[in-house]
Amino acid sequence: MSTVSDLASVTQNLRQAMYSTPFSVLGMHQAESGTGLTIRAWHPHAECIEVIAAPQGKSLGLMNRLENDLFELDFPRRKNTFYYQLHTTLKDGSQITRFDPYQFGQYTLCQQDIDGLHLYRHLGAIPLEHIINSKHSVTGVLFKVYAPHARSVSVIGDFNQWDGRCHPMASADDGIWRLFVPGVTVGDLYKFELHDHTGKLLPEKTDPFGRKTEQWPGLASIVQSESTYSWRDQQWLDRRGLNHEKPMSIYEVHAGSWKKSDDGEFLNYRTLADQLVPYVKKMGFTHIELLPVSEHPLYESWGYQPVGLYSPTSRFGTPDDFRYFVDQCHQHDIGVILDWVPAHFPQDDHGLFRFDGTAIYEYEDEQRGWHPDWKSRIYNYGSPWVQDFLISNALFWLDEFHVDGLRVDAVASMLYLDYSRKQGEWTPNQFGDNEHLEAVAFLQRLNAEVHRLHPNCMMIAEESTSWPNVSRPGHPKSLGFDYKWNMGWMNDTLSYMTRDPIYRQHHHHEMTFSMVYAYNENFVLSLSHDEVVHGKGTLSTRMPGDDWQRFANLRSYLGFMYGHPGKKLLFMGSEIGVTNEWNPAESLNWHLLEQGPYHRGMQQMVSDLNQIYQQYPALYQQDFDRSGFNWLVLDDHSQSVFAFYRQDSAGNTILVISNMTPGVRSDYAVGVPEAGQWQEIFNSDEQRYGGSGVINPPVTSHDEPRHHQQQSINLTLPPLATVMLTKAK
pLDDT tens digits, 464-521: 999 999 998 778 889 999 999 999 999 999 999 999 999 999 999 999 999 999 999 9
Task: Tell me how far the alpha carbon of residue 434 is from its chain's centroid.
Answer: 27
Q: Quote the domain boundaries for residue 155.
A: 106-222
Does residue 570 sit in the same domain as residue 598?
Answer: yes
> Which of the pair, 4 or 92, is modelled with greater confidence?
92
pLDDT at residue number 5: 54
Answer whether 577's CB lies under 8 Å from 598's CB: yes
For residues 428 and 420, what is the distance between their CA atoms, to the nearest angstrom? 14
Cβ-based burial of 509 (10 A; exposed 0-12, middle 13-18, buried ≥19): middle
Does residue 332 sit in the same domain as residue 204?
Answer: no
Here the CATH number for the domain that contains residue 360 is: 3.20.20.80
Answer whether 339's CB lies under 8 Å from 288's CB: no
Does residue 57 sit in the same domain as residue 150?
Answer: no
> Can you name the residues that pair with 99 across neighbouring β-strands?
85
Query: 237 in a domain, yes or no?
Result: no
Does residue 453 sit in the same domain as residue 580?
Answer: yes
Of 74, 462, 482, 575, which is the active-site residue? 462
Query: 377 in a domain, yes or no?
Result: yes
Model confidence at 455, in pLDDT bands (50, 70, 90)?
Answer: very high
Does residue 644 sit in the same domain as residue 593?
Answer: no
Q: Position 522: which residue type? A: N
Q: Is 700 helix (H, G, I), strand (E, B) or coil?
A: strand
Collect all residues with Cβ–Cβ distance below 8 Å to 545 and sequence separation of at least 6: 500, 501, 552, 553, 662
Torsion sign across C-alpha atoms 19, 24, 26, 27: positive
pLDDT at residue number 112: 67
Query: 228 in a domain, yes or no?
Result: no
Query: 91 in a domain, yes or no?
Result: yes
**Catalytic site includes residue 648:** no
pLDDT at residue number 1: 40
Report the DSSP pairing between strands 721-727 and 677-683.
antiparallel
Does residue 588 sit in the same domain as residue 660?
Answer: no
Does residue 496 sit in the same domain as residue 529?
Answer: yes
Peptide bond into 208 cis (omega under 30): no
Q: Where are the alpha helices (DSSP H) in 284-375?
A: 319-331, 366-369
Q: Position 29: which residue type? A: H
Query: 289 in a domain, yes or no?
Result: yes
Answer whether 336's CB lies under 8 Å from 287's CB: yes
Of 409, 438, 575, 686, which is the active-site residue? 409
**Catalytic site includes residue 193:** no
* pLDDT for 109 beyond 70: no
For residues 300 and 630, what is the distance between their CA atoms, to the nearest angstrom? 44
Does residue 541 sit in the same domain as residue 555?
Answer: yes
Mean pLDDT to the nearest integer, 144-148: 97
Q: Could you tell me the pTM of the whole model? A: 0.96
Collect all residues with Cβ–Cβ distance below 8 Å to 422 and sequence separation of at least 6: none
* pLDDT for 572 beyond 70: yes
The residue out of 618, 645, 666 marking a domain boundary is 618
Does residue 549 sit in the same domain as residue 609?
Answer: yes
For residues 98 and 83, what is the distance between their CA atoms, to the nearest angstrom? 11
